[in-house]
Amino acid sequence: MMNMKKIVSIQDISCFGKCSLTVALPIISAMGIETAVIPTAVLSTHTGEGFKDYTFRDLTSDIPAIAKHWKSMDLKFDALYTGYLGSMEQVQIVSDFFDDFSTKDNYIIVDPVLGDAGKLYAGFTQEFVSEMKRLCAKADFIMPNMTEVAFLLGIPYTETYDEAYVRDVLRRLAALGCKVPVITGVHFDDKQQGAAAYDSVNDKYYFSFDKNVNMRFHGTGDIFSSVFSGACALGMDIQQCLDIAVKFTLDCIEATIPNMQETWYGSCFELCLGKLIEYVNKR
């Protein structure tokens, strides 16, 4: 009998507004992967545009105890995947978690959640960005969007760029210490959008594109990162991981448009989980 793959996802629970763990847990589970979670905080909604006066309960002090218990059980994971982290202290604790649970056989995957549309999310500072850079140095894969690329590299944010620019910033991201940087939301024109990656070990670039939908939905980055992380754990190569993550993210966006309320509510990924299962089974 083949053992199921296991991922631990470390990020917040936003009780409303689909993102973070409420996206990662169902998506990775649908891919046939056992999904353990470490919630870093519980929020009434996410902190992005559209919601005000949200509640926030910090769970930082719980994380070391969870890690200690798991270590006593000798738990092993095929991937360690982090998303939204709410404080510099959390980033440091997660860094310690990596030291305790990383092995030569698993992947460390960091989605360095910092901001979008050229701006940092509420509550984040340049000091937090610096701490996130140190976490990225421990990762096999990082998955920033273009806003996060700008903050991680300390360069101006731009919405207009070409392939040479993307190749250059991918190399500079790899210089932070990660093995494979992946940039999400990449587009060279109005017709296509997707992602790009650079394997610094083998000095090879990867691109994956599908049609562009000129709308922003909160949480699509979390959808991409969750699918990519699951695909990694299942043993897919970098190109396969990019392709399945790009395709499923577009599926979710297209399913949301006819059912749309507010863009910050998130996308209707639940309607597309059947497709994701098909993609995994066809690999």
Q: Is the pLDDT of residue 86 over 90?
A: no
Q: How far apart are CA 132 and CA 248, in angstroms?
A: 27
Report the percentage of the chain scoring pLDDT > 90. Answer: 83
- pLDDT of 51 reads 78
* 213 in Cβ contact with 254 (< 8 Å): yes
SS3 184: strand
Can you give the C-alpha Rg of the chain in angstroms? 17
Stretch 227-245: mean pLDDT, rounded? 98
Q: How far apart are CA 182 and CA 276, in angstroms?
A: 20
Structural domains of the chain sorted by starting position, each given as residue range(s) with its CATH number in brackets = 6-274 (3.40.1190.20)
User: Over the stretch 179-233, which tens digit does the pLDDT of each residue have?
Assistant: 999 999 999 999 999 999 999 999 999 999 999 887 777 789 999 999 999 999 9
pTM above 0.75, yes or no: yes
- 232 — phi, psi (to 5°)? -60, -50
User: Over the stretch 128-176, which tens digit does the pLDDT of each residue have?
Assistant: 999 999 999 999 999 999 999 999 999 999 999 999 999 999 999 999 9
What are the residues facing 192 on neighbouring strands? Answer: 211
